[in-house]
Amino acid sequence: MNPVAAFPHVFFLGIGGIGMSALARWFRANGHSVSGYDKTPTPLTQALAAEGIVVHYQDAVENIPQEVRENKAQTLVVLTPAIPKDHQEWAWLREQGYDIRKRSQVLGLLTQGRPTIAVAGTHGKTTTSSMVAHLLHHAGVPCAAFLGGISVNLGSNLLLPPASSADTAPVVVEADEYDRSFLTLFPDVAIITSTDADHLDIYGNKEALVDSFRQFVGQIKPGGTLIINHTADASVAQAAPAGVRVIRYGLSPEQGPELYADAISAQGHQFRFDLHGPQGTVSGLELAVPGYHNVENMLAAACVGQLYGLTPEQLHAAVAAYRGVKRRFEFILTAGATHPDKVYVDDYAHHPREIEAFLRSLRTLYPGRRVRVIFQPHLFSRTHDFAAGFAESLSLADEVVLMDIYPARELPMPGVTSELILSQITAPLKSLQSWEEILRNAETDTNFDVLATVGAGDIDKLVPRLKNILDIRWNGAEA
């Protein structure tokens, strides 16, 4: 029996989160009555409302729908860690004894008894899981997917299989290491993209983080497969249970992975490469989403495709058709004939290694061009832990503009501001600017060829305003 079938009503605290909204959509599509709270309206919450999901934005018990308040035993409450501890609705639901579960626990319930492909790693999860889902879906393999971003191909963060295979189709999930959430999953196939230090506010040190990855790998089902980046901590692969196949991947055969790419070249916005691995060689793959890191992500995704029987011809077509995830190396604006060398790109990168990979790829695509990056640090704790790393990676740009730290779930930490990063940046030009200053300067300053906005906070709200200003300046268009 479906473990969530006993709950005709599902109420979400933090329904506008990217992972939470995918779950909300799944419950809605499967006949449940879905409602929820979020702090502010966003395009995502507005899309949920348009799909028939009731969303409110004021924290008050009377705003909880009547059907939820009157049907405690038949209601499942799904909670995101971003909800503050003094939240009134959460407190009332706890006091009343509702069944309250974290998003990760619900994801564990939904994948229970289903073939599961779980993508873990401190960065690269969303892109790689979207690639896996796209390759299978494009090739006609029925599958479901819960993604941590909006797939451009799907136009959603949720993929549903045909009704005829709803209980048997593999489920692609993003396995989040934050708060050890991924330990609710028992995958048949697991990908680990990286085990770099992150979330030290939760783990305390890198060894504790790596230990959680070892536990996750220990939960791969007998006869399953682990596809792991060759840069991951060696002890993680060693934690794979007996009988689990381990495939290491990377960009260079010199580093010893069984799955690797070569003949990599950038052609326009495309990256072309050959795949070599234990499932065979596929030559001349063309990836329209640029970046060496995306070639590496596609290696792991294509390996899953091969495990599920995709032919070289199917892989060629599916890889060429992949269009990425919103805010992952997303081309926002390309100038017209009057400014042919100017381009604006947006990316979600919020870890030093992600930023380094992104900027190195920009440099490969646009050699010799002047690069300006606008970066919004995410979390006081992450800024404190990785200030030197952020400064080093951002210094690959010609000019760095820093915004104030986006706090998300955190309270300020004494002495931790964007100045901590700014003081260590070695780029020729660097500054700390407010939203208003960034927009004002965009109207007058043209001293760059490539503009990049980078970060995981609310910097995405800046993107359409910058696009509008630049489109008028570059193309004479009223966007």
Query: Residue 443 burial by CB count (10 A; 0-12/13-18/19+): exposed, middle or buried?
Result: exposed
Measuring CA to CA, which residue among 184, 157, 117, 153 is closest to residue 25?
157
First to last CA, the chain: 51
Residue 350 is labelled as binding a ligand: no
Q: What is the three-class DSSP state of 129?
A: helix
Measuring CA to CA, which residue among 228, 350, 354 is closest to residue 291?
354
Which sign does the torsion angle of CA 209, 307, 303, 114 carry? negative
Residue 168 is labelled as binding a ligand: no
Residue 122 is labelled as binding a ligand: yes
Interacting residues of 291 by C-beta distance below 8 A, sequence separation 6+: 271, 329, 357, 358, 361
Residue 224 is labelled as binding a ligand: no
In 239-349, where does DSSP find H-type helix? 292-307, 312-321
HEC profile of 24-73: HHHHHHCCCEEEEECCCCCHHHHHHHHCCCEEECCCCHHHCCHHHHCCHH
- Dist CA 192 CA 216 (whole Å): 10
Residue 293 is labelled as binding a ligand: no
- Dist CA 211 CA 235 (whole Å): 9
Residue 446 is labelled as binding a ligand: no
Interacting residues of 155 by C-beta distance below 8 A, sequence separation 6+: none
What separation in angstroms does the CA of 73 have from each of 30, 35, 68, 70, 76? Answer: 19, 16, 9, 9, 8
- Dist CA 147 CA 23 (whole Å): 10
- Dist CA 7 CA 30 (whole Å): 11
Residue 124 is labelled as binding a ligand: yes
- Dist CA 479 CA 468 (whole Å): 5
Q: Tell me how many degrees the CA angle 405-408-435 measures, rounded to the nearest 5.
A: 40
Residue 375: φ, ψ to 5°: -125, 130
- Dist CA 329 CA 322 (whole Å): 13
Residue numbering of the annotated binding site for ATP? 121-127
Residue numbering of the annotated binding site? 121-127
